[in-house]
Amino acid sequence: MRSEAVAAMLPFLSDRFGNPSGGHGAARDARMALDDARELVAAAMAVDPGDVVFTSGGTEADNLAVFGALAARDRPIGPIVCTAMEHPAVLNAGRAAAQQFGVELREVRSDAAGVVDLDQLAEACTVEVSLVSVMGVNNEIGTIQPLEDVATLVHERSPDALVHTDAVQVVSWLDPAGQCRGADLVAVSAHKFGGPKGMGALVTRTGVPLAPVIHGGGQERERRSGTQNVAGIVAMAEALRVTGEQRTETVARVAVLRDRLLDGLIDQVDGALVTGGRSPTVAGIAHMQIPGVETEALLVLLDQAGVAASAGASCASGAVEPSHVLLAMGLTRQEAVSGIRFSLGYTTTAEEIDLALAAVPEAVSQLRN
């Protein structure tokens, strides 16, 4: 977490303990903090404060978008379209919603660079489609998706469909208001930009209907019931504010570190290559294929050397199955199991890159021998 977010959070874990739904002074104090935080998030996303729905994270925000948007329709529910490389929070929500509402889920493949295939998307977006979900930045290989082109295509071919984007990986590296301006529903998660885990939001465009998935006291304008996590919300808003202020400088610095990592590993590790190429990707994700080793074994050796990496999405780390993202790009299973992801952030230092450049070639050599 960013130090500013921790400092903002701490008072609401102790003295400022009020429930924002109450009517006494402590409750009004909490309500004021909640409103201020909502305005900060809304400003960063270029929406009205009333269009921000606070959730327990990106997964709940994605589920609320998928199920809430479909359940709120005042006309028959049609097919759902998403990319085959979506985060499981979208893919599995889409599959469950398709079963619940009795409609088809159409999964669109990406090209060899990890970008959604717009021709296949156009074929999938028939006039009866109700919801289309394309992530803003892929969480495993870091590719930036052409959301503006996606939104234009969807509105032309599926005029009754809403566009949802999982923007969890967007906020640290791109202006979310700009990258997601064509989307009707935008999911974000605080822990990806220096806020606390277990905190997120779903941003809706004004006028987009949304039915609740969690029922209760009617908080969040009856779109997400439950007493708000004021401490988490305040911390998320502060992290978002600082991230926005420092984004340009952070991206420039981290991109240099990422390129040094990739270039160094390509030079030192025989056969290593960047998955999908380097463009268009965000600065914070470096994904490679290292043939001749099993990634799970490589991760064990790297962990022992002090390098924390992943074989895919962090929530799926340890799985023996190849990444569905890499398979959606057309890689073979053998190629997919050689994939490894290094994540960089605003705290990443040159010394940490040096450590990785020493540890990875040594571990690969040990496994190959």
Distance CA 232, CA 55 (A): 10
Looking at the fold, whether 34 and 161 belong to one and the same domain comes out as yes
Looking at the fold, whether 229 and 115 belong to one and the same domain comes out as yes
Q: Give the pLDDT band (50/70/90) at residue 278.
A: confident
Whether 277 shows a pLDDT value over 60: the answer reads yes
Looking at the fold, whether 7 and 148 belong to one and the same domain comes out as yes
C-alpha closest to that of 134 among 98, 93, 166, 95 = 166
Whether 301 shows a pLDDT value over 70: the answer reads yes
Chain position carrying tokens 């130090």: 3
C-alpha closest to that of 121 among 111, 112, 113 = 111
Question: pTM here?
Answer: 0.95
Chain position carrying tokens 């599959």: 95
How does strand 80-83 pair with strand 131-133? parallel
**Section 178-198 average pLDDT:** 97
Q: Is 65 helix (H, G, I), strand (E, B) or coil?
A: helix
**pLDDT tens per residue across span 325-364:** 999 999 998 898 899 999 999 999 999 999 999 999 999 9
Distance CA 149, CA 167 (A): 16
Q: Which of 184, 215, 242 marks a domain boundary?
A: 242
**Section 258-285 average pLDDT:** 95
Looking at the fold, whether 163 and 231 belong to one and the same domain comes out as yes
Distance of CA 305 to the CA centre of its chain: 28
- Quote the pLDDT of residue 313: 56
**Section 152-162 average pLDDT:** 97
Whether 112 shows a pLDDT value over 80: the answer reads yes
Catalogue the long-range contacts made by 225-230 (C-beta closer than 8 Å, 24 or more residues apart): 227/19, 227/20, 227/21, 228/20, 228/21, 228/34, 228/54, 229/54, 229/56, 229/198, 229/199, 230/12, 230/16, 230/18, 230/20, 230/30, 230/33, 230/34
For the chain, the average pLDDT equals: 95
**pLDDT tens per residue across span 191-224:** 999 999 999 999 999 899 999 999 999 999 999 9
Looking at the fold, whether 86 and 181 belong to one and the same domain comes out as yes
**Section 252-270 average pLDDT:** 98
Angstrom CA distances, 33 to 13, 16, 53, 202, stand at 13, 10, 15, 19
Looking at the fold, whether 184 and 261 belong to one and the same domain comes out as no
Q: What is the domain extent for residue 309?
A: 247-368
Q: How many CA atoms lie within 13 A of 173 on its CB side?
A: 24
Q: Count the domains in the chain.
A: 2
**CATH number of 159's domain:** 3.40.640.10
Whether 321 shows a pLDDT value over 80: the answer reads no
Instruction: Output the six-digit token pair for 2.
Output: 């960013």
Kindly give the interhelix angle for 350-368 and 295-304, rounded to the nearest 10 degrees: 130
Looking at the fold, whether 198 and 282 belong to one and the same domain comes out as no
173 contacts 137 by C-beta, under 8 angstroms: yes
**Section 126-155 average pLDDT:** 97
Angstrom CA distances, 301 to 15, 218, 292, 363, stand at 45, 50, 15, 6
β partners of residue 143:
281
**pLDDT tens per residue across span 43-100:** 999 999 999 999 999 999 999 999 999 999 999 999 999 999 999 999 999 999 999 9
Looking at the fold, whether 204 and 301 belong to one and the same domain comes out as no
Return the beta strands (E) in 58-123 as ranges.
Answer: 80-83, 105-108
Q: Which of 82, 125, 180, 315 does the annotation list as catalytic?
A: 315
**Section 119-141 average pLDDT:** 97
CA distance from start to end of the chain: 40
Looking at the fold, whether 57 and 184 belong to one and the same domain comes out as yes
Catalytic site includes residue 125: no
Q: Give the pLDDT band (50/70/90) at residue 190.
A: very high
β partners of residue 204:
185
Whether 164 shows a pLDDT value over 60: the answer reads yes
Whether 319 shows a pLDDT value over 70: the answer reads no
Q: Is 107 helix (H, G, I), strand (E, B) or coil?
A: strand
Read off the DSSP letter of residue 312: S
**CATH number of 340's domain:** 3.90.1150.10
Looking at the fold, whether 139 and 206 belong to one and the same domain comes out as yes
Q: Give the pLDDT band (50/70/90) at residue 294.
A: confident
Q: Which of 209, 242, 275 marks a domain boundary?
A: 242
- Quote the pLDDT of residue 176: 98
Least confident segment among 123-127, 139-143, 309-313: 309-313
Looking at the fold, whether 61 and 33 belong to one and the same domain comes out as yes
